[in-house]
């Protein structure tokens, strides 16, 4: 068994090197070195020209060396994860694997095996390199080849990440305070309801910490990955996200990276082309302990490696959380679940636009689809797996019809009203956007934030939306959605009324008006 695991790790190592395009990078490095050497010997170039060429060559070579170093580290990590997973499964001990791996018979045999594996893998059909380069340069897909390969490894190792999370919790026990996992805030709704802007507003507060893009592609052990990736960190410049909705994100931006934890514990919910809703009593032994640890480790990672040194509470956006509102309250009774509610006409129109947009993006670059699937964002495009409530099984072939999205909207919010608890906080998105400050103040009070004024200061993030006509859908479905929206708004958070001055007594001038005398 040890030998089989070690040989598998060699295969994984070779595959990772191929995926990270180490060979083309090495060739480019050698070509750059040869060109620079030839330029230095060229008698037709003056010293200034040679110096300029040397600087450009040095820059390209440094980039190539960084690519090779990152690719090598990723390949070693992937191979090591295979061996480690086998030991964790009880198939052998790490000491036994090390003894075999360091012996001369294995070293010699694995070298030959790796060479043969490299040749075999190189003969497999693959996408044209020019197409890869074009995709890497696409501003809609900001990841280069090494980043993409690393993300593929992360997406393929959720089970390993789940087990490594326990190791991380033990290794960093001194830095993890489980008190920081108390009173978590979950933001959940169907997409395009304002969940992202709500997360950005809350995560801007020093007291709250959320997973960020820096936690990718290993979100289940943020402390360990934070330590490993520090030396490769890039500047936190922001750019508009792929949704094309004007919201900007950067490496330090919060995002919905919690779903991989649910995927690791409930894989059966994601099969059959849909994401099946959770029953309120669908508890899973060990999950609450795992998630409490995960929340505390996210806070610890942001305190240690991120931009939240004072963070002491967890906040997360997860649109799929609307499919498990009852279970969230049952599992985390101290949690607040913030549910933005948008008018169904506007939300359906936005959902359809985003679905069409991501279908184009996914056809243009399949990695975009793999990225969304790896994160559990089964919301749009070729990655779409609609939420399925009760016995319904939405047919994604109907995703071009408004009725498809409206049926899901109704099923989701009818289930929410049935399962909502006292700590479910509905937020009327239209009212919030039209008059942000008092609604944010009410939200801060409902969440018992330490500094309500800091949340009110985020009012500038919100803008009122435009009026959208009713979609082309059956009249009964439209009436059902309108009635449901009225019920949701009636239950939504309301700001405190603005105090009015007391009326003056008859014959007495109001105290706010001074006499002219």
Q: Domain ranges in the chain?
A: 2-137, 163-491
Handedness of CA 91, 96, 98, 102 (dihedral sign): negative
Q: Which residue has the higher pLDDT, 37 or 457?
A: 457
d(CA 106, CA 83): 15
- H or E stretch including 442? helix 436-446
CB atoms within 10 A of CB 299: 29
CB atoms within 10 A of CB 147: 20
Grade residue 434 by pLDDT with cuts at 50, 70 and 90: very high
| pLDDT of 229 strictly over 80 | no
| pLDDT of 509 strictly over 50 | no
Q: Reduce the DSSP state of residue 240 to 3 states and report it.
A: strand
d(CA 345, CA 366): 31
Say if CB 304 and CB 390 are below 8 A apart: no
pLDDT score, position 516: 33
Mean pLDDT along residues 227-248: 58
Say if CB 440 and CB 432 are below 8 A apart: yes
Query: 78-82, 364-368, 431-435: lowest mean pLDDT where?
Result: 78-82
Query: 280-284, 296-300, 306-310: lowest mean pLDDT where?
Result: 306-310
d(CA 31, CA 313): 51
pLDDT score, position 144: 66
Q: Which residue has the higher pLDDT, 61 or 199?
A: 199
Query: 39-43, 133-137, 399-403, 424-428: lowest mean pLDDT where?
Result: 133-137
Residue with tokens 């507060």: 205
Q: Reduce the DSSP state of residue 266 to 3 states and report it.
A: coil
Q: Which residue has the higher pLDDT, 324 or 137?
A: 324
Query: 447-451, 461-465, 471-475: lowest mean pLDDT where?
Result: 461-465
Mean pLDDT along residues 101-116: 77
| Residue among 345, 494, 493 nearest 410 (CA) | 345
Q: Which residue has the higher pLDDT, 328 or 144?
A: 328
pLDDT score, position 177: 93
d(CA 419, CA 203): 26
d(CA 315, CA 321): 13
Mean pLDDT along residues 274-303: 93
**Number of residues that this document lists for the chain:** 517
Pairing mode of beta strands 248-249, 239-240: antiparallel
DSSP 513: S
- Angstrom CA distances, 501 to 191, 438, 481, stand at 42, 18, 40
pLDDT score, position 178: 94
CA-based max dimension of the chain: 107
Which residues on adjacent β-strands are paired with residue 248?
A: 240
Query: 53-57, 100-104, 380-384: lowest mean pLDDT where?
Result: 53-57
Question: What is the number of H-type helices and E-type strands within the chain?
Answer: 20, 9
| pLDDT of 232 strictly over 80 | no
Q: Which residue has the higher pLDDT, 139 or 400?
A: 400
Mean pLDDT along residues 340-365: 94
Q: Is the peptide bond before 74 cis (omega within 30 degrees of 0)?
A: no
Q: Which runs of E-coded beta strand occur in 230-335?
A: 239-240, 248-249, 275-276, 313-317
| pLDDT of 351 strictly over 80 | yes
Residue with tokens 């360990």: 224
pLDDT tens by residue, 60-79 = 666 667 777 777 777 788 77
Percentage of the chain lying above the pLDDT 90 cut: 45
d(CA 9, CA 350): 45
| Residue among 168, 170, 175 nearest 225 (CA) | 168
Which residues have CB under 8 Å from 460's CB, separation 6+? 436
pLDDT score, position 251: 64
The overall average pLDDT reported for the chain is: 82
Q: Which residue has the higher pLDDT, 127 or 89?
A: 89
Query: 206-215, 347-356, 407-416, 451-460: lowest mean pLDDT where?
Result: 206-215
The domain over range 163-491 is classified in CATH as 1.10.1740: no
Mean pLDDT along residues 272-290: 94
Q: Which residue has the higher pLDDT, 31 or 321?
A: 321
Say if CB 230 and CB 305 are below 8 A apart: yes
Mean pLDDT along residues 232-253: 57
| pLDDT of 238 strictly over 60 | no
Grade residue 278 by pLDDT with cuts at 50, 70 and 90: very high
Q: Which two tokens stand for residue 224?
A: 């360990």
Q: Residue 402, class by beta-carbon neighbours within 10 Å (0-12 exposed, 13-18 middle, 19+ buried)?
A: buried
Which residues have CB under 8 Å from 114's CB, separation 6+? 10, 13, 14
Grade residue 129 by pLDDT with cuts at 50, 70 and 90: very low
pLDDT score, position 163: 82
| pLDDT of 517 strictly over 60 | no
Residue with tokens 């052998």: 92
Mean pLDDT along residues 303-325: 90
pLDDT score, position 374: 87
d(CA 176, CA 295): 10
Grade residue 133 by pLDDT with cuts at 50, 70 and 90: very low
Q: What is the pTM of this model?
A: 0.69
| pLDDT of 307 strictly over 90 | no
């Amino acid at each position: 068994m040890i030998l089989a695991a070690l040989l598998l790790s060699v295969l994984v190592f070779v595959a990772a090197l191929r995926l990270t395009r180490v060979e083309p990078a090495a060739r480019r490095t050698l070509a750059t070195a040869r060109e620079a050497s030839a330029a230095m010997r060229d008698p037709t170039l003056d010293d200034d020209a040679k110096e300029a060429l040397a600087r450009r060559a040095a820059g390209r070579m440094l980039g190539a060396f960084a690519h090779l170093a990152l690719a090598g580290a990723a390949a070693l990590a992937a191979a090591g994860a295979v061996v480690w997973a086998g030991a964790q499964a009880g198939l052998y001990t790490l000491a036994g694997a090390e003894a075999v791996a360091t012996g001369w018979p294995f070293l010699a045999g694995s070298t030959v095996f790796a060479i043969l594996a490299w040749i075999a893998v190189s003969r497999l059909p693959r996408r044209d390199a020019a197409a890869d380069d074009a995709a890497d340069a696409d501003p809609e897909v900001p990841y280069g080849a090494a980043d993409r390969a690393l993300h593929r490894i992360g997406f393929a190792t959720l089970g390993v990440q789940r087990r490594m999370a326990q190791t991380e919790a033990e290794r960093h026990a001194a830095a993890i305070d489980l008190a920081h996992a108390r009173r978590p805030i979950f933001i959940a709704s169907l997409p395009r309801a304002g969940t992202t802007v709500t997360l950005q507003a809350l995560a801007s507060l020093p007291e709250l910490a959320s997973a960020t893009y820096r936690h990718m592609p290993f979100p289940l052990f943020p402390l360990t990955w934070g330590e490993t990736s520090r030396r490769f960190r890039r500047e936190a410049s922001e750019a508009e996200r792929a949704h094309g909705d004007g919201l900007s994100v950067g490496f330090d931006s919060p995002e919905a990276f919690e779903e991989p934890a649910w995927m690791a514990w409930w894989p059966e919910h994601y099969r059959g082309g849909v994401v099946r809703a959770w029953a309120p009593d669908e508890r899973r032994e060990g999950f609450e302990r795992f998630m409490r640890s995960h929340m505390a480790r996210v806070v610890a990672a942001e305190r240690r490696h991120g931009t939240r040194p004072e963070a002491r509470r967890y906040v997360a956006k997860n649109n799929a959380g609307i499919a498990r509102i009852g279970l969230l309250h049952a599992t985390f009774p101290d949690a607040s679940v913030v549910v933005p509610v948008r008018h169904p006409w506007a939300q359906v129109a936005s959902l359809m636009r985003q679905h069409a947009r991501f279908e184009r993006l996914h056809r243009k670059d399949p990695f975009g689809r793999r990225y969304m699937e790896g994160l559990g964002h089964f919301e749009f495009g070729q990655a779409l797996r609609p939420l399925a409530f009760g016995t319904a099984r939405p047919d994604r072939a109907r995703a071009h019809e408004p009725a498809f999205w409206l049926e899901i909207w109704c099923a989701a919010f009818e289930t929410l009203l049935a399962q909502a608890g006292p700590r479910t906080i509905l937020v009327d998105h239209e009212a919030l956007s039209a008059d942000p400050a008092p609604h944010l103040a009410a939200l801060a009070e409902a969440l018992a934030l330490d500094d309500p004024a800091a949340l009110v200061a985020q009012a500038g993030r919100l803008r009122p939306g435009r009026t959208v006509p009713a979609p082309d859908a059956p009249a009964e479905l439209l009436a059902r959605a309108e009635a449901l929206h009225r019920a949701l708004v009636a239950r939504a958070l309301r700001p405190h009324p603005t105090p009015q001055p007391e009326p003056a007594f008859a014959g007495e001038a109001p105290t706010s008006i001074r006499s002219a005398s």
